[in-house]
């Protein structure tokens, strides 16, 4: 019985260590800082998948959260907060207005990733 408990403890400890390691698929985009007048944060979450989250606080105080839930860099949703009002727009919506909002958000998302890459590779581009 003692050997079994020991083996169970070892396996459990290993599983916890692997699960808590915070495996990151896209560390090149991890960012938390200013881009112009905007506070920008890119991070990964594991909410049942590999989720890329980009949060932007605009100069006017509004907030935009871009959610890529499949690690394919295609948005599943965009969530916009203005004051106390928060609205979430899903890419799967059949509403053409919502689809247009998500398409515009996708372009912004791509643009922020390019800016993050430019900032993080700036030391390589200096002469």
Q: 45-92, pLDDT tens digit by residue?
A: 876 668 999 999 999 999 999 999 988 999 999 999 999 999 999 999
Q: Would the pLDDT of 37 be above 90?
A: yes
Q: Give first-to-last CA distance, the chain, whole Å.
A: 66
| Ramachandran assignment for 60, one of left (phi > 0), alpha (psi -120 to 50 degrees), beta (any other) | alpha
Containing 96, the helix (H) or strand (E) segment is helix 96-120
- At residue 2, does pLDDT exceed 90? no
Question: Which DSSP state fits 27?
Answer: G
* Lookup result for tokens 């890419």: 91
pLDDT at 13 over 80: no
pLDDT for res 108: 98
pLDDT recorded at residue 25 = 81
Is the pLDDT at 121 greater than 60? The verdict is yes
The continuous run of DSSP H or E covering 13 comes out as helix 2-19
pLDDT tops 90 at residue 7? no
Q: Is the pTM of this model over 0.85?
A: no
Q: What is the H or E stretch that residue 39 is in? A: strand 38-45
Tokens representing residue 80 in the block: 């916009």
- pLDDT computed for residue 124 by the predictor: 84
CA-based torsion, 118, 33, 55, 17: positive or negative = positive
């Amino acid at each position: 019985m003692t050997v079994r408990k020991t083996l169970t403890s070892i396996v459990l400890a290993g599983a916890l260590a692997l699960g808590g390691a915070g495996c990151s698929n896209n560390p090149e985009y991890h960012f938390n800082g200013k881009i112009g007048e905007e506070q920008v944060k890119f991070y990964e979450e594991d909410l049942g998948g590999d989720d890329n989250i980009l949060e932007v606080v605009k100069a006017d105080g509004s907030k935009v959260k871009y959610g890529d839930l499949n690690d394919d860099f295609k948005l599943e949703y965009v969530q916009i907060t203005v004051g106390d009002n928060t609205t979430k727009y899903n890419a799967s919506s059949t509403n053409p207005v919502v689809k247009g909002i998500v398409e515009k958000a996708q372009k912004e998302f791509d643009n922020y990733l390019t800016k993050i890459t430019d900032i993080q590779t700036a030391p390589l581009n200096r002469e």
